[in-house]
Amino acid sequence: MSGIYLHVPFCASYCIYCDFYSLLSSPKRMSQYLEAVSREVDCRGDFFKGVSPTRLYIGGGTPSVLPPEILGEIVRKIKFQFFQNVEIEEFTIEANPNDITPDYLKFLQSIGVNRLSMGVQSFCDEHLRWFKRRHSAEGAINAYRMAVEAGFNNISLDLIFGFAHLSDSQWDNNISTILDLRPQHISCYQMSIEKGSELGRLYRKGEYSEPDQDRCANQYYHLSNRLKEAGYDHYEISNFSLPGYHSRHNSSYWQRTPYLGLGPSAHSFDGVSTRLWNPASLAKYSILTDYDQFGETLTETETFNEQIMLGLRQSKGLKISDLDKSLYREVEGVISNLVKSGYLLQEGETIKIPPEKFFISDGIMEQCFL
């Protein structure tokens, strides 16, 4: 199973915690983007070597700031190049709740979008203002309801926990609100301090401190327990879904299937060991002629470590038989000690991190690396 990711590098404003490659949207930049992406689509026709992709994911940035005529044109080109005789099994677009209107939803349906992902982040206006998000809590709830009314039946909402201004009662309230809405999918991330973000600068100036990790862990497990009680499957460290609604696109990253990334800063993977990436600059991307120019081939050790890291993120874990046998022998002792001490579970040929240890999964994975 393979898929396509299109990166839309525009936002209407910047959030305090983000350092993704993104530009403020302007008509000139968007037409430059349309031209450059169209060229890349034309040149990437043989990426999948005859195997048709089945998923399309449009992320950013904020894809919903693209005018419908530009988004429609890019999607038309992508479909023509890659999905001529294939139905797109999962077609996701990320949208800011503020950009959702009944007309916009109709437009998305007309181009085939069947999954909507909205970055809500919190249902508390005080947090949303501090994050510098464009929407309000009420706006997010209305946007969600509008999407349901329009017929979307696969919606993902994002929340953030683990930041200084989030009290446990506010967090519990955020969880209650999302459960009242009951989206098919919920992604939840701990606030991290990214070097290039405004939060990173505040942190370096001593104007922001992170909450302690025990508090973050409690918030994480509180979320996980409440969502589990409500029938959600905690299928990946940061992701929960109602049965059958896991993200096919993101799962293909964790399962190391091939994907093609289009647009500035997008990454591609051939499903074996080669990664390619486009420059994180619209100007440099727009003059690119060789799309294989920036990339790397993973060594056997890097591939092994990546399999460990991506496999153990998923609650279903990792099949030992998928790993290189001789490399596995080098860490077999460490893994068996982790199993004995309860940090890993082994069920036949499968190893996995028990959900109650997900919060410390990075440390567990590192021990399994070569």
* CB of 101 or CB of 299, closer to ligand SF4: 101
* CB of 60 or CB of 311, closer to ligand SF4: 60
- Give least dist CB 245 to ligand SF4, A: 22
- Give least dist CB 310 to ligand SF4, A: 23
Contact 201, 170 (CB under 8 A): no
- Give least dist CB 192 to ligand SF4, A: 12
* CB of 14 or CB of 221, closer to ligand SF4: 14
* CB of 155 or CB of 318, closer to ligand SF4: 155
Contact 365, 312 (CB under 8 A): yes
Residue indicated by tokens 């600068």: 201
Q: Which amino acid is at 287?
A: I
- Give least dist CB 321 to ligand SF4, A: 39
- Give least dist CB 155 to ligand SF4, A: 17
- Give least dist CB 96 to ligand SF4, A: 6
* CB of 65 or CB of 178, closer to ligand SF4: 65
* CB of 121 or CB of 314, closer to ligand SF4: 121
- Give least dist CB 60 to ligand SF4, A: 5
Contact 184, 241 (CB under 8 A): yes
| 199 exposure class (CB count in 10 Å sphere: 0-12, 13-18, 19+) | buried
* CB of 61 or CB of 183, closer to ligand SF4: 61
Q: Partners of 187 in the beta sheet?
A: 158, 239
* CB of 61 or CB of 261, closer to ligand SF4: 61
Tell me, letter by letter, the H, E, C secondary structure of the chain: CCEEEEEECEECCCCCCCCCCCEECCHHHHHHHHHHHHHHHHHCCCCCCCCCCCEEEEEECCHHHCCHHHHHHHHHHHHHHHCCCCCCCEEEEEECHHHCCHHHHHHHHHCCCCEEEEEEECCCHHHHHHHCCCCCHHHHHHHHHHHHHCCCCCEEEEEEECCCCCCHHHHHHHHHHHHHHCCCEEEEEECCCCCCCHHHHHHHCCCCCCCCHHHHHHHHHHHHHHHHHCCCEEEECCEEECCCCCCHHHHHHHCCCCEEEECCCCEEECCCCEEEECCCCHHHHHCCCCCCCCEEECCHHHHHHHHHHHHHCECCCEEHHHCCHHHHHHHHHHHHHHHHCCCCEEECCEEECCHHHHHHHHHHHHHHCC
- Give least dist CB 210 to ligand SF4, A: 18
* CB of 161 or CB of 358, closer to ligand SF4: 161
- Give least dist CB 116 to ligand SF4, A: 15
- Residues near ligand SF4 (CB under 6 A) are 11, 14-15, 18, 20, 22, 60-62
